[in-house]
Amino acid sequence: MKKNVKIKFHPEKLSYERIENTFSNVLKKIINNVLLSLLLAVVLFFFFFYFVESPKEDKLKKENYQMALQYEILKKQAAELQEVIDDLQERDDNLYRVVFLADPIPLSVRKGSIGGVNRYENLMGMTNSEIMISTTKQLDQLSKEVYLQSKSYDEIVELARNKETMLKHLPAIQPVLNKDLTRVASGYGRRIDPIYRTVKMHEGMDFTAPTGTDVFATADGEVVFVGWQRGYGNLLKIDHGYGYETRYAHLHGFAQGIRKGKKVSRGDVIAYVGNTGKSTGPHLHYEVRFKGVPQNPHNYYFLDLSPEEYDLMVQLSNNAGQLLD
């Protein structure tokens, strides 16, 4: 059996030499080939791992891109909805709730943050987590504001149903008979004090009338004070609900049956014009207060006066003359 031999040219000797394939040479060659194959495999592995995407990774990347795009669209739609809700809130606070004498909902309540510690913790660390958290927060805020607006409209609807009752409790007539408007002595505003001769704030309206003239309740309500009060003399207060209160001062006396807790209706005779307290002549001092704040009474005679009469009343009540109290 012939040995498997190879011939190699020797350049220095310029001759051919025979190379026998010994076991050691063959083993060395096998090891070299194996190492080279392993090295090539490692290089190819890292190349495909870092630079070549698998079909699954490519699909996942496309899905992530589509999801991010959808979140961006959702975020834009949420911003448009926010504008609509802001408009509804403005109308609610500045129109509907004003008409029905309801307090506006504080901005701190409408725009208050959503409670909960680490509320969005489950979204952290996820792909596109920043836009997911931002959009989710926006949607949560919208949900809260929509809920509050819905509750507000429920309240407005209930107030609308009770509108007729509410109007009965709104001061809307003059407290004495004054068809020709000749009994207006002094109106609301800064006036000259008849006793101290200094400029002071007059928080009501004065009507001249003979002692004993009937004084009428200007709206439905409940008598909450009947008695003497410094400066006012004989004073009667009526709580009309809905934040309104009226005061009738310098009275000669009170109508029969009038006492604290008595329910009265608009037009009921409740007292009589007098000259008690800090007063310089028989007259009625009349005040309208809303949530404790004095209001100009001439804004509350709309059931008593025509437009022309109202204009004249405004002129007369703005008279900066001397007070009677």
Q: Give the pLDDT confidence score for residue 320 in this predicted structure.
A: 47
pLDDT at 156: 81
Contact between residue 174 and residue 301 where contact means Cβ atoms under 8 Å apart: yes
Is the pTM value of this prediction over 0.75?
Answer: no
**What residue type is 165 in one-letter code?**
T
* Cβ atoms of residues 173 and 238 within 8 Å: no
Question: Could you tell me if 275 and 283 are in contact, meaning their C-beta atoms sit under 8 angstroms apart?
Answer: yes
pLDDT of 185: 82
69 burial type by CB count under 10 A (0-12 exposed, 13-18 middle, 19+ buried)? exposed
Considering only residues 256 and 48, tell me which one the structure prediction assigns the higher pLDDT.
256
pLDDT at site 260: 96
Which tens digit of pLDDT belongs to each residue from 38-67? Answer: 787 777 767 666 666 666 766 777 767 777
pLDDT reported for residue 50:
65
pLDDT score at 155: 82
pLDDT interval class at 262 (50, 70, 90): very high
Class of domain 184-317: mainly beta
When mean pLDDT is compared over 135-139, 234-238, 274-278, the highest value belongs to 234-238
User: 293-295 and 233-241: which strand pairing?
Assistant: unpaired
Q: What's the CA angle centered on 272, arms 271 and 274, to 5 degrees?
A: 130
Residue 229 clears pLDDT 90, i.e. is over it: yes
- pLDDT tops 50 at residue 1: no
Who contacts 175 (Cβ-Cβ below 8 Å, separation ≥6)? 207, 215, 216, 217, 218, 246, 248, 284, 286
Residue type, 74: L
pLDDT the model gives residue 157: 81
Q: What does the domain layout of the chain look like in residue ranges?
A: 5-51, 55-161, 184-317
pLDDT of 123 higher than 60: yes
What string of DSSP letters covers 151-183?
Answer: HHHHHHHHHHHTHHHHHHTS--S-SS--TT-TT
**β-pair partners for 7:** 18
3-state secondary structure of 253: strand
